[in-house]
């Protein structure tokens, strides 16, 4: 269920049926000249809606507030927010979602900035330690799809594949240079080369795997908090 378009009575019924809140969290950030600037939030919102289709619950509007973005490297259209801004937003969202009656709060981290993730996980840990009526979880899709030592991806083949699956025709690989290797400092791209490794089919399969594994974890959390 989409929060923004729900009537109060519809929201009340859905919370009673499946008290799960999905909060997509992204950043305004360059992910290569070939990708949409809202990639992080678009990806997180898409994954939230796919989880909701499987589990029920309520998808909230995407929060675009990123810390440790590529703005520090001079890439245009990348907005950098203070860590405390992210922390306050997370703290308030967690408090208010629990007050609304949600028992499970899943913050879907589309932006992988290390210190950004640290801030959100710290707020989640503090929230979980302070009360027992609700349980929060902040998670990146790479944590579900890969082992901890798997190389990061930023605008590379993996994230580009997500976009190719989510927004067919919007990714424009022709914007990337054809005569040299890509790099993070120059192109804002980490991971496998999207020019040769990205595809819509790869993105679709990643979403399928992500949903399957994440749904299992959410079901376990619901069982534990209802025990």
Rounded to whole angstroms, what are the CA distances from 113 to 41, 72, 154, 182? 13, 12, 10, 20
Give the residue ranges of DSSP H helices in the chain. Answer: 8-17, 39-55, 83-99, 114-130, 141-145, 157-166, 184-187, 194-197, 200-226
What's this model's pTM, rounded to 2 decimal places? 0.95
pLDDT tens figures, 83-127: 999 999 999 999 999 999 999 999 999 998 889 999 999 999 999
Mean of the pLDDT values across residues 193-216?
96
Query: Has residue 171 got a pLDDT over 80?
Result: yes
Question: Using 50, 70 and 90 to split pLDDT, how confident is the model at 149?
Answer: confident
DSSP-derived 3-state class of residue 220: helix
CA–CA separation, 56 and 196 (whole Å): 37
pLDDT tens figures, 11-51: 999 999 999 999 999 999 999 999 999 999 999 999 999 99
Mean of the pLDDT values across residues 49-74?
96
The average confidence (pLDDT) of the chain is 95
**Domains of the chain, first to last:** 8-147+211-226 (3.40.50.10310)
Measured in Å, how far apart are the chain's first and last C-alpha atoms? 25
Percent of the chain with pLDDT over 70: 100
Q: Is there a contact between 24 and 81 (Cβ–Cβ < 8 Å)?
A: no
Work out the angle between the directed axes of helices 39-55 and 200-226 (0-180°, nearest 10): 50
């Amino acid at each position: 269920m989409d929060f923004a378009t729900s009537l109060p009575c519809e929201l009340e019924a859905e919370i009673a049926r499946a008290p799960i809140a999905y909060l997509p969290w992204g950043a305004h950030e360059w992910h290569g000249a070939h990708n949409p600037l809202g990639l992080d939030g678009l990806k997180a919102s898409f994954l939230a809606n796919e989880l909701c289709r499987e589990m029920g619950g309520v998808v909230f509007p995407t929060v675009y507030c990123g810390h440790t973005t590529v703005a520090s490297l001079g890439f245009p259209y990348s907005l950098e927010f203070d860590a405390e801004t992210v922390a306050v937003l997370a703290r308030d969202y967690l408090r208010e979602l629990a007050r609304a009656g949600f028992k499970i709060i899943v913050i879907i981290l589309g932006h992988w900035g290390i210190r950004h993730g640290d801030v959100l996980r710290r707020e989640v840990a503090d929230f979980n330690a302070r009360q027992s009526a609700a349980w929060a979880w902040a998670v990146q899709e790479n944590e579900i799809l890969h082992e901890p030592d798997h190389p990061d991806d930023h605008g590379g083949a993996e994230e580009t594949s997500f976009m190719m699956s989510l927004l067919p025709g919007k990714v424009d690989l022709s914007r990337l240079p054809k005569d040299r290797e890509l790099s993070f400092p120059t192109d804002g791209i980490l991971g496998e080369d999207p020019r040769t490794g990205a595809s819509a089919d790869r993105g679709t399969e990643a979403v399928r795997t992500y949903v399957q594994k994440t749904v299992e974890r959410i079901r376990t959390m619901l069982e534990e908090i209802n025990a």
